[in-house]
Amino acid sequence: MEKQQFDTLVIGSGAGGLAAAICLARSGQKVLVLEQHDVPGGWCHSFQIDGHRFSPGVHYIGLVGEGQSTNELYQGLGVANDLVFFRMNPNAYEHCVIGNERIDMPAGIENLISSLSKRFPDEKKNISSYLHMVQSVSQQIQLVPLMKTFWDHVTIPYRTRYMGKYGLFSLKRVIDWYIKDPQLKAVLNVQCGDHGLPPYRASFLVHCAVMSHYFDGACYPMGGGGGIVKAMTNGVKKHGGEVRTRQKVKKIIIENNKAIGVEMENKEQIFARNIISNADPGITYLNLVGTENISKKLAKKLASTKYSVTSLILFLTLEMDVKKSGMDSGNIWLLRDNNIDAIYQKLTSADILEEKEFPAVFISCTTLKDPTSFNGHHHNFEVVTFIDYSSFSAFNSNADYHGEAYSLCKERIMDKMMNSLEKVLPGAKLHVVQMELGTPKTNQFYINTTNGNVYGTEKTINQIGPFSFGSKSEIKNLFLCGASTLSHGVGGATNSGVATAAAILGCRAAELIVPDKDQNIRIYDAEDATTWPDWVHQKRESKKKRHQF
């Protein structure tokens, strides 16, 4: 068999791996992306159940507007023209349902301050101070990688003073200095779900980055996460790169502390000058590299590394007019009460089958976020809650965990999730077309993450920034990207891929993301049909005709 040789081989086709592949292929390298699943995308992929599309890892994206960072990122990657986004409800892109109270979060920081100040008049001054401080800290975080000159480094302590002041504190500690009302704290902390840690454990800096990412509202990609993956895989191919699916890597071949290729499960070997792993550090070093090839220092770090929560995701299709029950394109964060710390402890330590409802769930109606996906009859939902991997301990030791016990467990979990959904969508149980449950075992099988984690490593203070895993590994020519390196989320993972490509090419990441005026993301309002071009209306009508009964 002819020896396959590439400049760079990428293991895993998540947003980070695809971004790296685009940058490297565009620079002239011969690039191959290997994906174990039958579709590319990692957490960004979409799939169908009985013709209904779901996206397990993409629920909303911020800073998509013209001149904003996500927009410029896709422009710089040369994929913006292939992307369409729908702007979620600007009056409430997030609905916080806490107990029996509903509090909406509108787009625009000043709108948010005004809305919350009306709801919590005694906290008006504190709300403004806190949110502007969050905005400042986030801006200062973004300044750090831009520092180039001697003068930049001399002035950085002043220019990042708020980041330095609060950088070593937890979210709980900082918000307690500013905000007193428990209900208001819960609203401002509800996006803890976007990094998976409760306030008392979450890094304040990470939470600032998450909140500011959505200060101007949120958008949803047409086609779900798969729409982004399609644009990025096309970007790889446009520059001569290759993406192969159903290609499970068994190990990374190491010779003299140098990565030279990979061996597939079918024993085929593929060689490359550089190897990028888009898998998390545990999968990369412990499974693919092997402990015999890593230093004691790295082995010690891996042993102490903690991974984020895992998830339960209900993929649900309903045949009912959900708008009549108040549903719109905004997300719903449903909390039993305002003690988020206690809720997280309950979610990650309790028996998942006890009680009739989950103390917290995230609800997303994708057919309202992406109008082109609605067939005129059915609405698709993703209902998510977090758990600890140990909650599935009964199935974690079994190679083939499927069986009657697993099926019964899933049925009971789905019933609990439906009970939670009924809180905001009464009668939902009577209108189910289909439902399926994704569990930690599902995450492991399809995404291949350590313990089915959702956000890579935990984003605690001692596992971010200089304490995270770097793009360069201790093994020559082996690089990492993804949620456990630079940052998590779609934007963070994508940027990690750019950073890794820059490390290989010996340049700055900013040099690989140059705004292109010929590249433009199309953005329309999910809730305002008058903003849709004719082709969106036609696409929608065509879908309805195909599903007429």
Which residues, including other chains, have CB under 8 Å from residue 155's CB and lie 6 or more apart? none
Decide the pairing of beta strands 269-277 and 242-244. Answer: unpaired
Q: Euclidean distance between the first and final Cα of the chain, in Å?
A: 53
Domain coverage including residue 69: 4-85+222-304+459-512
Residue 543 counted as domain residue: no
Q: Do 427 and 494 belong to one domain?
A: no
The first and second tokens of residue 522, run together, are 């199309």
In tens, the pLDDT along 250-276 reads 999 999 999 999 999 999 999 999 999
Number of structural domains the chain divides into: 3
Q: Please write the tens of the pLDDT for every residue from 12-67.
A: 999 999 999 999 999 999 999 999 999 999 999 999 999 999 999 999 999 999 99
Q: Determine the pLDDT at residue 153.
A: 47
What average pLDDT does range 128-135 have in this prediction? 96
Residues 154 and 129 in one domain: yes
Buried b (16+ CB within 10 A) or exposed e, 26-59: bbebbbbbbbbbebbbbbbbbbeeeebbbbbbbb
Whole-angstrom distance, CA of residue 189 vs CA of residue 183: 10
Q: How far is CA 113 from CA 87, 306, 454, 474, in A?
A: 21, 35, 31, 46
From 66, 50, 74, 47, select the one nearest 58 (Cα to Cα).
47
- Specify the amino acid at residue 218: A
| CATH number of the domain within which 365 lies | 3.90.660
Question: Rounded to two decimals, what is the model's pTM?
Answer: 0.94
The band of 154, judged by pLDDT with boundaries at 50, 70 and 90, is very low
- C-alpha to C-alpha distance for 313 and 436, rounded to whole angstroms: 8
**Structure-token match 């340049």, residue found:** 507
Largest CA distance in the chain: 74
Q: Is residue 68 part of a domain?
A: yes
Determine contact, residues 406/395, Cβ cutoff 8 Å: yes
User: What is the bridge-based pairing of β-strands 379-387 and 432-438?
Assistant: unpaired
pLDDT mean over 300-320: 97
Residue 63 lies inside a defined structural domain of this protein: yes
Reported as type and span, the H/E element at residue 84 is strand 84-87
389 and 324 in a single domain? The answer is yes
Asked if residue 13 is part of any domain, the answer here is: yes
pLDDT(326) > 60: yes
* CA–CA dist 197, 309 (Å, integer): 8
**How confident is the prediction for the chain on average, in pLDDT?**
93
What phi, psi does 514 have (nearest 5°)? -105, 120
Strands (E), 357-487: 360-365, 379-387, 432-438, 478-480
Closest by Cα among 415, 431, 330 to 379: 431
Specify whether 230 is located in the same domain as 202: no
- Tell me if 99 is assigned to some domain: no
pLDDT of residue 398: 59
Q: Is the confidence at residue 151, as pLDDT, over 70? A: no
Same-domain status, 375 and 500: no
